[in-house]
Amino acid sequence: MQRSATFTFVVLPILFMILVMAGLTIWMAVSGSKPPVVIEVATVEEPPTIYAKGEGTLRGTIVRADGSPNTSEVHLSYRSERKMENSSHSSSGNVGDVVGEFDAKVFAGETWLIATGDDFAPSWIGPIENHADGIVDDLKIVLNEGRPLDIVLEDPSGNPVTGGNVTGFPIVGRNAGGSHHPTKEVEPGVYRFNHTAEATYRIFAEAPGFQPLDEEVADASMQGQVEFTLIPGDPTTGTVIGADGQPIADAAILLNLKNYSISGSRGSHSWSEKEIGRTDAAGRFELRILEPGALYYGIIEAPDQRRIVFSEMQAGETGLVYEVPPLRTLRGTIRGDFSVLHERYDRDLKKKLPYVKIDQRYKMQIDGGTHGELHYDYVPVEITEETGHFECRGIFTDRVSIALGPYRVQLDESDLESTGDLLLDYNLDTNEYEITPVDTESTEDAKDAP
């Protein structure tokens, strides 16, 4: 007799389960066993430590691995993460160069202190509960020599990649960032960290004609040698021209940000106007170091400081054209007490000179949001008799501020509406100033005047 599908796949399984449950009940009744009781235990997470805004004091000593006092100068830096009610804030900075003891004011938060130097591996302590206005004493940083790590770079054919730039840093605590420590090419294609810590390192490698490398090496001090194959880069080509249509030679492509919004992985990476290429005599450029799946943002700067922002440059793009606008210059006249101006050492003149600092904040649209970048210039002030003069070439944004010692002038939109030069007259004694836009025709006439 042929059974129906309902009997086979529905009725029989139900009968089987009834028989199993009945048998289990009879067995427990005979044996006196009780059915198992499942108790769910709720895990209680400790609430995060909340840190108030401010600075705490961290004090301690630095010793060698054998316990002896440290006698050579080391560089001490910090990283702090401050939890707030609904957000968090991370900060990092330099404590300075120290020897055997340190006494530092550090922004409050869960803090790591990192010591670096030429003769030992990066060494650190943390996390430290560093509260605003608090004091943490008796901290101790132990300097370990570590072990060397060789990074071997090859092309797809196994040939050594020479002339590369290889850097890296240990990942400390929750912070993936850090100061880049350079390597030395000890033989063709072999780049050595002389002292590495027993930690995961993030390694960056660049070489002309290849895509950049960004990898992690676990237990770096135990590896001895790690090999990586660099992939040839897809050429990105373009031309840089002026407002007159003429090509601009020797224009620099300066990188600020790499964003992985195409591939959706690994977030972003930033630089401070890192040069990645220049144009030839015909204004053309070719880049082979861009990574597929990433968008690049930055500035193109002509030799005379004409500047323009570029966005979403990609590996493999060809025929790009960037038109740089006419040069705009901020010309300043300063009067009053020049002693309030800050000074910087001029390497060419080998002396300190007073200066003003020009900040230009420009915007880039990234992933539907606005990302701000800052370009700044330190401009020397030439003082003759009772008047100071400075000139900052390359005004290119809609938000410009000038720092004159303790004073700051913020240019507003109306000041920047014109396309010509800008004149600033500033009195350091009264903190009074006047900004005069110069129209383009007057500016060009002044440039052409003998």
Q: How far is CA 158 from the centre of its chain?
A: 32
pLDDT confidence band for 448 (50 / 70 / 90): very low
- The Cα 403–Cα 411 span in angstroms is 11
Greater confidence, 442 or 309? 309
pLDDT confidence band for 262 (50 / 70 / 90): low
pLDDT over 70, % of the chain: 83
Provide the pLDDT for residue 172. 87
- How many other C-beta atoms are found inside a 10 Å radius of the C-beta of residue 397? 18
| Residue ranges of domains in the chain | 55-143, 147-229, 236-324, 329-448
Provide the pLDDT for residue 443. 44
pLDDT in tens, 173-232: 766 566 778 899 999 999 999 999 999 999 999 898 898 898 999 999 999 999 999 999
- The Cα 414–Cα 417 span in angstroms is 5
- The Cα 447–Cα 438 span in angstroms is 12
Does residue 2 register a pLDDT over 50?
A: no
Greater confidence, 292 or 247? 247
Provide the pLDDT for residue 150. 97
Cβ neighbours of residue 263 closer than 8 Å, sequence gap 6 or more? 293, 294
- Assess contact for 105 and 55: CB atoms under 8 A: yes
pLDDT confidence band for 412 (50 / 70 / 90): confident
- In the chain, what is the greatest distance between 2 CA atoms, to the nearest angstrom? 119
Burial 152-165 (b: 16+ CB within 10 A, else e): bbebeeeeebeebe
As a whole number, mean pLDDT of residues 392-405 equals: 91
pLDDT confidence band for 382 (50 / 70 / 90): very high
pLDDT in tens, 124-175: 999 999 999 999 999 999 999 999 999 999 999 999 999 999 999 999 876 6
Cβ neighbours of residue 340 closer than 8 Å, sequence gap 6 or more? 404, 405, 406, 407, 428
Terminal Cα distance for the chain, rounded: 115
The class level of CATH for 236-324 reads mainly beta
- Assess contact for 364 and 435: CB atoms under 8 A: no
- The Cα 188–Cα 159 span in angstroms is 9
As a whole number, mean pLDDT of residues 245-265 equals: 82
Same topology for domains 147-229 and 236-324, yes or no? yes
As a whole number, mean pLDDT of residues 22-27 equals: 55
Provide the pLDDT for residue 131. 93
- The Cα 271–Cα 70 span in angstroms is 34
Cβ neighbours of residue 197 closer than 8 Å, sequence gap 6 or more? 121, 122, 123, 144, 146, 170, 220, 221
The class level of CATH for 55-143 reads mainly beta
- Assess contact for 336 and 429: CB atoms under 8 A: yes
Provide the pLDDT for residue 197. 92
- Assess contact for 228 and 216: CB atoms under 8 A: no
pLDDT in tens, 163-176: 999 999 999 876 65
- What are the tokens at 372? 């701000």
For the domain made up of 147-229, give the CATH fold.
Immunoglobulin-like (2.60.40)
- The Cα 276–Cα 296 span in angstroms is 11
Greater confidence, 415 or 109? 109
Provide the pLDDT for residue 261. 60
Q: How many CA atoms lie within 13 A of 88 on its CB side?
A: 12
Provide the pLDDT for residue 1. 44
Provide the pLDDT for residue 46. 67
Does residue 416 register a pLDDT over 70?
A: yes
Query: Tell me, what amino acid is at 200?
Result: T
Provide the pLDDT for residue 327. 94
pLDDT in tens, 34-86: 554 545 555 556 677 888 889 999 999 999 999 999 999 999 999 888 876 66
pLDDT over 90, % of the chain: 58
